[in-house]
Amino acid sequence: MKTLLLIDGNAIIHRAFHALPSFKTKDGFPTNAIFGFISVLNKAICDYQPNYLVVCFDTPVPTFRKKIFKKYQAQRPKLENDLVIQIPIIKQALKIAGIFQIEKAGFEADDLIGTISHLFNENGIRVLILSGDRDILQLVDQNIYVITPQIGYIKGKIYDKESVMDKFNITPKQIPDFKALVGDQSDNYKGAKGIGPKNAVKLLKKFGTIDGVFKNLEKIEKKTSEILKQYKDDIILSHQLAKIITNLPLDIEIDKTRFRGFDQNLKEFLLKFEIKSLTERIFGKKNKSVSKKNSNESKKNNQIQTTLF
């Protein structure tokens, strides 16, 4: 089975920027996010040897979630200027490298990832989603996996359906229902005040979805039932905010996302920003991401795939 590596661009950029010290060029231009993002990208390519590669981005345009709930993510601090000015440079680096990138005004990168993962999966292609955002775990399915960076960027945890169940005690598809009940502080929506994680899991195990919960209020303990009735509108709104869209109309051709290695022009681009060690790492003779797989590399990759999946 061929593999798509699908990257949550903004999530990885943010993690890189905040995890690394403030690298700067001689002229004072910050480069830590550029260095960190390209480093993670290169390592993921080396580790998973994707046949296809797509990076998804948010846009500054308010999303549909912001339109239906004005306070959505309102508590998040404004992006630091040193981070903001690096984002277009990273996008330019991807373009020069020959890597497919996509964004869509009015929607989050999560919605693009949801749509693209389903498109490729329906075409018999295994999908690996690299993101530090746990909301993405709702997309985990047969042959759709989520990789979350851990211990810096040295290793990542790979979630399949079973590992999501082990960690959260619910299925991936139940994550939006869970968040609808308990809310999400990081996205600034409340769910139902008085319904905690344990009670939410209990309800979903018994009734499956929030629709199932509301159809069976008479079977639920009175205090909990009253809370559910009181916060019904908030729960329904929270579910709309939590649910990742998987059917956006996107103009994307699978073959145009094929990854054949970094374009050599990326080397000169990175050196312009004085990123020397990473340039040597990517364009060294033994780097797997820019060279054809030999038989030993193919054998090793098969062993990795078997172990991880």
| Model confidence pLDDT, tens digit, residues 236-253 | 999 999 999 999 999 899
The percent of residues in the chain predicted with pLDDT above 70, rounded, is 90
* Assigned token pair, 230: 């009181």
The pLDDT tens digits for 90-140 are: 999 999 999 999 999 999 999 999 999 999 999 999 999 999 888 999 999
pLDDT band at 221 (very low <50, low <70, confident <90, very high): very high
What's the predicted TM-score (pTM) here? 0.89
DSSP H helices, the chain, are 9-19, 32-48, 64-68, 81-84, 87-97, 109-122, 161-168, 175-182, 197-207, 210-215, 222-230, 232-242, 265-272, 276-283, 295-308
pLDDT of 286 > 70? The answer is no
The string of DSSP codes covering 223-278 is HHHHHHHHTHHHHHHHHHHHPPP--------GGGGB-----THHHHHHHHTT-HHH
Residues 6+ away with beta carbon under 8 Å from 108: 58, 63, 65
Sign of CA dihedral 184, 187, 188, 192: negative
Q: Write down the mean pLDDT value for the chain.
A: 89
In the chain, what are the domain boundaries? 3-161+245-294, 168-242
Is the pLDDT at 264 greater than 70? The verdict is yes
Q: Which fold has domain 3-161+245-294?
A: Rossmann fold (3.40.50)
The confidence score (pLDDT) of residue 170 equals 97
pLDDT per position as a tens digit, 21-70: 888 999 999 999 999 999 999 999 999 999 999 999 999 999 999 999 99
DSSP state of 143: T
Beta-strand pair 155-159/144-150: antiparallel
Q: Classify domain 168-242 at the CATH topology level.
A: DNA polymerase; domain 1 (1.10.150)
